[in-house]
Structure 1
Amino acid sequence: MATPEYTPFVFLLLLFQSGVWGVPVCQTPQESPTCGYKSCHATKPGMLNVHLVPHTHDDVGWLKTVDQYFYGDRNDIQHAGVQYILDSVVDQLLKNPDRRFIYVETAFFYRWWKQQTDDMQNTVKQLVNEGRLEFVNGGWCMSDEATTHYSAVIDQMTMGLRFLNDTFGHCGRPRVAWHIDPFGHAREHASMFAQMGYDGFFFGRLDYQDRNRRMVAREQEMLWRASESLTPPMADLFTGILPNGYNPPEGFCWDQSCDDPPIRDDPDLEDYNVDDVVTRFLHIAHGQALVYKTNHIIMTMGSDFQYENANLWYKNLDKLIRYVNQMQSNGSEVNVLYSTPSCYLQELHRVNLTWPLKGDDFFPYADSAHDFWTGYFTSRPALKRYERISNSYLQTCKQLEVLGGPISRKGPFGAGDSETLKKAMAVAQHHDAVSGTEKQHVANDYARKLANGWAHCQVLVSNTLSSLSGSSAPRVYCEHLNISVCPLTETMNVYNPLARPVSWPVRLPVNGTAYSISDAKGKVVPVSQATAAVRRGRGYAVNELLFQVQAPPLGYSTYSVSLLQNGPPSPPSPLPRAPTAVQNKVWVLWYNASDGNNSESIQMSGAYIFRPNTSTPFIISKTAKIETLQNSVVQEVRQWFSPWVSQVVRLYTDSRALELEWTVGPVPIGDDLGKEVISRLDSSINSSGVFYTDSNGREVLQRRKDYRPTWNLRQSEPIAGNYYPINSRAYIKDDKDQLTVVTDRSQGGGSIQDGSLEIMLHRRLLYDDVRGVGEPLNETSDIYPEGLVVRGRHLLSLSPPAMAADTHRPLAQEVVLQPSSMDFEKEFSGLQAVLPPAVHLLTVSQWDQDTVLLRLEHQYQASESKEHSQPVTVNLQKLFSTLDMLGVSEMNLSANQWKDEMTRLDWKAESGTHHTGVTNQLCLLSPLGCVKTADLL
């Protein structure tokens, strides 16, 4: 049996149906003779070919909500109406077959499409089949790259691409990834795009110093080697940097929101300006050609929510192309044409050049010396946490939908679905959603959509559990255990979405003083003063019942809880000891945020920008009031640094990590200064200015203080310029020790001092940073009108570097896919056997009636773990306990193309490599034998 090459991700469609061979839904019609690369206009050899790309950038929420943007509501905030853009563009494309347009955000297009008549839908299909309307990127949204977890990104891309695939077939499949607006770019995103079958990737933002160097060296187009584990070219992706962000050249914007004059081409009129327009355009084109490598350049003709009146754009673009190309008869060597990113990419491929290699990522991003976009790594920490636990609950919902069968969607508790939460989660991945860079009312709308999705999934989950347990008793869902609020019933269950058993601590709010728990030992401890204060009337339990649960893979366990002693009312929490200087290596500090009153720069801290006004953080208190607890379940030290900052240090019995629970807020602003609150961990590790952060929760990259791998950095912000996104974990190490921090949401952080890690927890700011959002990041709520209170957890582990990955990898997965506490009966596991430690079950989701989408990944990087970075075999025939597998069909990562039909453009790279070699493989045993694995993530 042949051994496949290493692939951390394996993507399959499993077919389940008693006695019937099913076929997955995936349209692969005969290719139209004119769509895709075949639809491109001819270029002219020997000339400078200028590819004009008409486009609109439609944020899936930012200054307005998704709904407001689609309908054109609240134009007093921003004039934008996506439905009118699509109406207008289609009308104008029909008037001239030479015209082209690209569209990106499937969340908006899906809505518009559902409102169209059959005739209009057929018209649009024809435009797509002829390549006149082309989809690029094609995900539900254009996701953020710093604060998103790879599993959620894959889900949202799959949703958007599946709609395009089902609706338009082969001609609807994007060839190019298009991230023109995110504020920095992650290596893992490039790796995912490569494994989704994209031929290239274009973006608009990168650090100003990096751009300047690349312009001089003509290296604005490159081959991004996006994985240290995958054999090239599995994760290689051609990547191009657009010349004007994503805007048109200066003076050539012809939207209703623009002020540039139209082309006035009547020679009898006094204001005739064709000669001036052509001269300026040729000057810009020749200048742009000097900083790119080929005789092809690209110009983005559009911007935010443009083309609502597409006639303005196309009428002037038609003239621009005609008059510039007429100059060829006078010796001009510039040829202008309507184009798309894929057509431009095709011409770059035909040139057959050798391209520079890129092995790291594009973080952090700065657009000026004091303007580092590293604040949004932490902005809106409560929303970031809600998005993360919503992702976990969505995976539980999708799994139980499969395990429960049709009754899960329509059962004793009514009609439930996973689609509502899928769409809400997909929207939340947008680069102005989970990033925290939206207006407050938009952030509230994202949270509302997620809550609505939870409600739909809870009905589905209740139906499934009723079917599996044989009981239709009402279900209780504990959504507020972080503040010890949950109705207690006689049975308590935990569902585990991971494919291996987990041991998980549970803390239930109770008023009694003694309880018996089936199959577990529990202890009652008083609710902390911080928890009681943060509830604000949402719960009144005075104690917490602590016990450790064991949950089977893809299953749940039942624990009966019985009151043994009610007794007199529990006394309040013990009074803290007298203030004591705690020799603590975990500090909570803050930076005062810049208000722009600075001799070096007027830049303020805001939703995007992190700019402290000093390089030294302020210590909230060198002393802390402390309270200690110790029993057979947990050792706990509760610390109060101030009325608005507290911390609990916990060590559970047999735990692999120390838990730090932090509670911050309301952040005081009485001194008229915004504050950036951090947790700093100091150690004796000799880190030598080097630390490590994950990329979207998957592979880990090395970072070095005041250093960039691809240019000589002139550091102008010693704190903000050394902050990086931490999606799930970060660590420092030397030859003997590795200190790893696992986070429960995306946060920003760095290693400013040797042996130290700092992670930003909360931000409250009093000024807008002038990047468009138009309001300060000063969060309040009905419950916390004086300022938002946020609670979270960090898990700390200290181990020899050779063994560290074996601890922090599974820890990070447990935090991302945490068990769900709910009330039901019996014990159940959806798997026949536990998956090997190196294998993570990433996706189990209903695809159609008889087909299930399954993703498995080898989750260790090459050479990361001596034990687990090795080949692994998984027997799919013996995987599930309730499902019969009759066949396997392999697809690409995004499930919109059969794997054996996925072909990508080949590119030649300069000598040198960032590839470290491949040691691990994943073989899948199925009815078809050992299925060859894909060139996936």
Structure 2
Amino acid sequence: MAGGGWARAPGCPLRMLLLAAALGAGAGHGRCGYYELCPATQPSMLNVHLLPHTHDDVGWLKTVDQYYYGVRDGIQHAGVQYILDSVVSALLANESRRFIYVEIAFFSYWWKQQTAQRQQEVRQLVCQGRLQFANGGWVMNDEATTYYAASIDQMTLGLNFLKDTFGDCGRPRVAWHIDPFGHSREQASLFAQMGFDGYFFGRLDYQDKKRRKIQKEMEQVWRASASLQPPQADLFTGVLPNGYNPPPDLCWDTLCFDFPLVDDPESPEYNAKALVNYFLNISVLQAQNYRTNHIVMTMGSDFHYENANIWFKNMDKLIQMVNAQQSKGSQINVLYSTPACYLWELNKANLTWSVKQDDFFPYADGPHQFWTGYFTSRPALKRYERLSHKFLQVCNQLEVLAGPAALAGPYGQGGSARLRQAMAVAQHHDAVTGTSKQHVANDYARQLAAGWERCQVLVSNALASLGGSKEDFVFCNLLNISVCPLTQTASQFQAVLYNPLAWSITWTVRLPVSDWAYHVRSPSGQTVPSEVIDVSAERSKNFHPELIFPASAPPLGFSIYSVTRLPSKTPRFRDCCAVPVAQSSHTLVIQNEHLRVTFNPNTGLLQEIENLDQGLRLPVSQTFYWYNASTGDFTHPQASGAYIFRPDKTKPFLLSHWVKTRLVKKALVQEVHQNFSAWCSQVVRLYPGQRHVELEWTVGPVPVGDGWGKEIISRFDSQLKTNGRFYTDSNGREILERRRDYRPTWDLNQTEPVAGNYYPVSSRLYITDGQVQLTVLTDRSQGGSSLSDGSLELMVHRRLLLDDNRGVGEALLEPGDEPGVGLVVRGRHLVLLDTVEAAAARHRLQAQREALAPQLVLAPAGKGTPYSPGSPALTQFSGLRRELPPAVHLLTLARWGPSTVLLRLEHIFERGEDRMFNLSQPVTLDLQDLFSAFTISHLEETTLSADQPLSKATRLQWRTSPGGGPAPPQPAPALDPSAITLQPMEIRTFLASVTWSKERER
């Protein structure tokens, strides 16, 4: 991803630009005459817009490379390179034809393999508006399981490839999410802030769609933020009539079985008249569900157009023969079109549209077919994706802070590009969702791992440059299972804690070590309190003691701690401090200065949480249950699978009535280890100063030898009176209220009382009685709900025996380290108990700390060499001269060009959300001397996706009810780097011209 000028795209014919400028003169919208180049329509007729398109999954049944090259046809016949070859040739053969393409991950790879002549031909098609890009992200990302920052990154990658390749002529005007399985409000808000004029999708709940068709609400304006001032997050949104497939009997592809249009009356196969009459009839029927004299038909599907001639030849005939009926009185006009050209006609109709303010979750395509299982499917991949997002931000930041030195060496030259692309691919709606075949999921992980390797080189270069000492840096990627060869064998080592947040942080470092005592020194050389604890009850061959010590790091910076192993005679711990706890009448308690956590003396289960600061005590129990996955029953054959969640009973099975416990009470940590079964355990933990309870759970391998697929949940039960309401985040940002067995905009006939009440939880889920709030933060996307008042549950793992018949063709039966045994997953839930007034600030800030937790890098002590002779090594560094206010998050800091930086700042609170600490107020920042590693010489504000200057960005305006007329566009505020103001929930994006300090240029 690189910055690009705003001049015309290379090779774009000058005559086309002059024509576009002439057509667009006075229109006030879009260079290239984007909308004005749309085909003519008939104002007095019903205009049927045929949308030739292909939907090319960036991995699903086959890997990305297998799809692109067209190999492994035994799995699925699909070859994207041939699709693009064929489509371009077909467009060049007939000037009336049009086509849209979406997945830039595929297109960019194809583009690089083309000759200069073919590239010039494609540029001309783009400038003519006959090849248009829709959406324009690297992939068509999922909307339930994605984190908002990763979605922004992947859209930025794709859209800026188009800008750099085609200039403004290639910029999509329409978002196009035809296949994701439900749609989030935050995604629509992001699209609006990226400058899209409209949004079309294919999937929504079958009950909702039926109601919309009757009421002619298949198209409306989505008000996608409760905080941003309209129309900043308003987005015209349309539901496509046939998902994204052609009407029945009108599919003309090598993958279809419909009859081609035979127009020779002498042929015994002649069917043209019947097909034309059929087309006229279905057009009239479809128009009854829409409000204007324009409708669309999606002419394409999964991996269609490998032989584009078949599709186009039949559509050519259809258009000619249908329009010929106009001489006989027909009032139907059919034409090749694009989603943007269809949207343009809707906008010109100048109607008043209804407004939607909730979202489109959960999605069901039948009474017992709720697509809520994928909220949790493949939990290990979901966690790896979230960790990779964090590491990409670390990589991006250090690439900027260290300047050119970060890219030293043959492996540093690629910078963060490989991980950026791998992360973008991982956002695909069959990647992070967990809905691909197993070998494809493995390939997604492989791509991420390859990106990590390149970024680890960059991070090592950057730390050496910033710290002034070249070290043999080590990245221990198996700390989640307490494995790190360096710390377990070395007598001395360094722990580098890098903080990607713009606020100072404190963090407890945990490292697997040998069975010795250790001495830890801070960056200033002071002794840091430390302890070694046992993480398992018995000393087996897998025994891993862990060293723990408190650490801190400045904003956007690092601290280096030195660790030395002490002689073996030094006591490691007192035997009294880690003991098994038998069930007795003695209450089991862990406590710090803020929280007191009590466990039932008879069962060993969590019993009560007390917030000592706020004087709150809440009886709350927590344990694990499992739903038996349906294999189909007398009401419906639907089984639970990678997509679908369908338990065979509404009441789950309790995993264990009591647990074996072990108490660890040390000065630096207090833990209760709970053993629920042979395949489920948990550690409930409190560190000093911590204002939340940490629950680290380990689940798996889930046993299925009894023939029962299992869906494991962690459930919290309290006495809060919640009136059927609970709350979830939308992609990690704004909060939405949920109500059991209820949808805000239509009357729900609830047919699955468990699965039909599950919602995606990207970062947090909470309940409240209006006075007290119980919040659970997650470390990855999970499905969650509140199925009874005072209760919260989160699904943590799934292991199933049947496919759910949604195309993936295999059961969700993930292997672990040993074939056939099953996957073990470890994760964390953070539990917060607060008054409602204090809760917003607590969970907002803690969620950001979790999403961008410190990155730990290690190095053997005494192995380093000076980076620059004569320059002393640093043990602490900050990229900021002052930390940002608590309401402001540094969302993006990434290298954009040789002397340009991409900078995003966001206000993380909603309007009126925080009433206790006043964090929902606008915040003004001075950026001029904020960064220590570089100086900003010029600042240009852009749209969210950084592909157009904000000063030149315009969007179509829509009339909404109530109010009648369209809201006036908000002018871009005057840009003063010393006074950048952020409103609640606002993200501001800048391209900054910078000069690195001399130290960074070395």
- Residues 455-508 of structure 1: CA distance to partner in whole angstroms, max 9, x if unpaired? 000001111111112211200112221111122152111100000011112111
Partners of 1:52 and 1:590 in 2: how far apart? 48
Q: Flag the 1:194–1:732 CA change in 2: closer, same or farther, 3 A.
A: same
Q: Flag the 1:252–1:266 CA change in 2: closer, same or farther, 3 A.
A: same
| Counterpart among 506, 530, 535 of residue 522 in structure 1 | 530
Q: Flag the 1:743–1:124 CA change in 2: closer, same or farther, 3 A.
A: same
Partners of 2:18 and 2:434 in 1: how far apart? 41
Q: Flag the 1:119–1:285 CA change in 2: closer, same or farther, 3 A.
A: same
Query: Which residue identity is paired with 2:623?
Result: W
Match in the other structure for 2:251 = 253
2:580 aligned with 1:576: yes
2:615 aligned with 1:593: no
Q: Flag the 1:782–1:26 CA change in 2: closer, same or farther, 3 A.
A: farther
Match in the other structure for 2:907 = 858
Instruction: Output the TM-score relative to the length of structure 1.
Output: 0.94
| Counterpart among 636, 654, 659 of residue 694 in structure 2 | 659
Partners of 2:85 and 2:232 in 1: how far apart? 39
Shift in Å, 1:878: 2.0
Match in the other structure for 1:632 = 667
Partners of 2:946 and 2:818 in 1: how far apart? 43
| Counterpart among 535, 546, 557 of residue 544 in structure 1 | 546
Partners of 1:563 and 1:909 in 2: how far apart? 69
Match in the other structure for 1:797 = 832
Q: Flag the 1:930–1:723 CA change in 2: closer, same or farther, 3 A.
A: closer
Contact persistence 2:517–2:570 (CA under 8 A): no
Match in the other structure for 1:510 = 513
Match in the other structure for 2:892 = 843
Partners of 1:725 and 1:588 in 2: how far apart? 19
Match in the other structure for 1:207 = 205
2:703 aligned with 1:668: yes
- Residues 543-580 of structure 1: CA distance to partner in whole angstroms, max 9, x if unpaired? 11111211110001111112224249989996734465
Contact persistence 1:923–1:930 (CA under 8 A): no
Partners of 2:961 and 2:987 in 1: how far apart? 23
Shift in Å, 1:514: 2.1
Aligned length: 902
Query: Which residue identity is paired with 2:40?
Result: A
Query: Which residue identity is paired with 1:562?
Result: T
Partners of 2:123 and 2:881 in 1: how far apart? 45
Contact persistence 1:50–1:299 (CA under 8 A): yes
Residue correspondence of structure 1 range 25-104 to structure 2 within 5 A: 25-27=5-7, 33=20, 36-104=34-102
Query: Which residue identity is paired with 2:390?
Result: S
Match in the other structure for 1:554 = 556
| Counterpart among 262, 277, 280 of residue 278 in structure 2 | 280
Q: What RMSD in Å do the two structures reach over aligned CA positions?
A: 2.2
Q: Flag the 1:342–1:399 CA change in 2: closer, same or farther, 3 A.
A: same
Match in the other structure for 1:418 = 416
Point out the more displaced range, 137-146 or 510-519: 510-519
Point out the more displaced range, 160-169 or 780-789: 780-789
Query: Which residue identity is paired with 2:533?
Result: V
Tell me the secondary structure at the aligned position of residue 112 of structure 1: helix
- Residues 287-343 of structure 1: CA distance to partner in whole angstroms, max 9, x if unpaired? 100111111000000000000000000000000000001111111100000000000
Residue correspondence of structure 1 range 886-897 to structure 2 within 5 A: 886-897=937-948
| Counterpart among 113, 121, 124 of residue 122 in structure 2 | 124
Tell me the secondary structure at the aligned position of residue 844 of structure 1: strand
Partners of 2:919 and 2:829 in 1: how far apart? 24
Shift in Å, 1:912: 7.8
Partners of 1:101 and 1:24 in 2: how far apart? 26
Shift in Å, 1:412: 9.2
Partners of 2:165 and 2:19 in 1: how far apart? 15
Q: Flag the 1:871–1:28 CA change in 2: closer, same or farther, 3 A.
A: farther
Tell me the secondary structure at the aligned position of residue 903 of structure 2: strand
Instruction: Output the TM-score relative to the length of structure 2.
Output: 0.88
Tell me the secondary structure at the aligned position of residue 297 of structure 1: strand
2:789 aligned with 1:738: no
Partners of 2:131 and 2:99 in 1: how far apart? 5
Q: Flag the 1:337–1:414 CA change in 2: closer, same or farther, 3 A.
A: closer
Contact persistence 2:173–2:197 (CA under 8 A): yes
Partners of 1:116 and 1:484 in 2: how far apart? 48
Q: What is the identity percentage for the equivalent residue pairs of Structure 1 and Structure 2?
A: 59
Contact persistence 2:4–2:164 (CA under 8 A): no
Match in the other structure for 2:651 = 616
Q: Flag the 1:24–1:166 CA change in 2: closer, same or farther, 3 A.
A: closer
Partners of 2:206 and 2:55 in 1: how far apart? 22
Contact persistence 1:512–1:565 (CA under 8 A): no
Partners of 2:987 and 2:39 in 1: how far apart? 32
Shift in Å, 1:935: 7.6
Residue correspondence of structure 1 range 373-772 to structure 2 within 5 A: 373-411=371-409, 415=413, 417-486=415-484, 487-488=486-487, 489-519=492-522, 520-529=528-537, 542-567=544-569, 576-578=580-582, 580-584=602-606, 585-596=621-632, 598-772=633-807
Shift in Å, 1:38: 1.7
- Residues 600-642 of structure 1: CA distance to partner in whole angstroms, max 9, x if unpaired? 1110000000000000010110110000011111110000010
Tell me the secondary structure at the aligned position of residue 89 of structure 2: helix
Shift in Å, 1:930: 5.2
- Residues 360-385 of structure 1: CA distance to partner in whole angstroms, max 9, x if unpaired? 00000000000000000000000000
Q: Flag the 1:31–1:608 CA change in 2: closer, same or farther, 3 A.
A: farther
Match in the other structure for 2:591 = none
Residue correspondence of structure 1 range 909-920 to structure 2 within 5 A: 909-911=960-962
More contact order relative to length (CA 8 Å, sep ≥ 6)? 1
| Counterpart among 226, 229, 247 of residue 227 in structure 2 | 229
Contact persistence 2:499–2:555 (CA under 8 A): yes
Partners of 1:176 and 1:490 in 2: how far apart? 53
Contact persistence 2:159–2:945 (CA under 8 A): yes
Partners of 1:112 and 1:291 in 2: how far apart? 39
Q: Flag the 1:630–1:724 CA change in 2: closer, same or farther, 3 A.
A: same
Partners of 1:168 and 1:924 in 2: how far apart? 28
Shift in Å, 1:782: 3.5
Match in the other structure for 2:593 = none
Partners of 2:451 and 2:160 in 1: how far apart? 20
Partners of 1:714 and 1:932 in 2: how far apart? 42
Partners of 2:837 and 2:963 in 1: how far apart? 27
Match in the other structure for 1:18 = none
Contact persistence 2:517–2:571 (CA under 8 A): no
- Residues 513-562 of structure 1: CA distance to partner in whole angstroms, max 9, x if unpaired? 422212421111102259x99xxx8xx56311111211110001111112
Point out the more displaced range, 580-589 or 559-568: 559-568
2:340 aligned with 1:342: yes
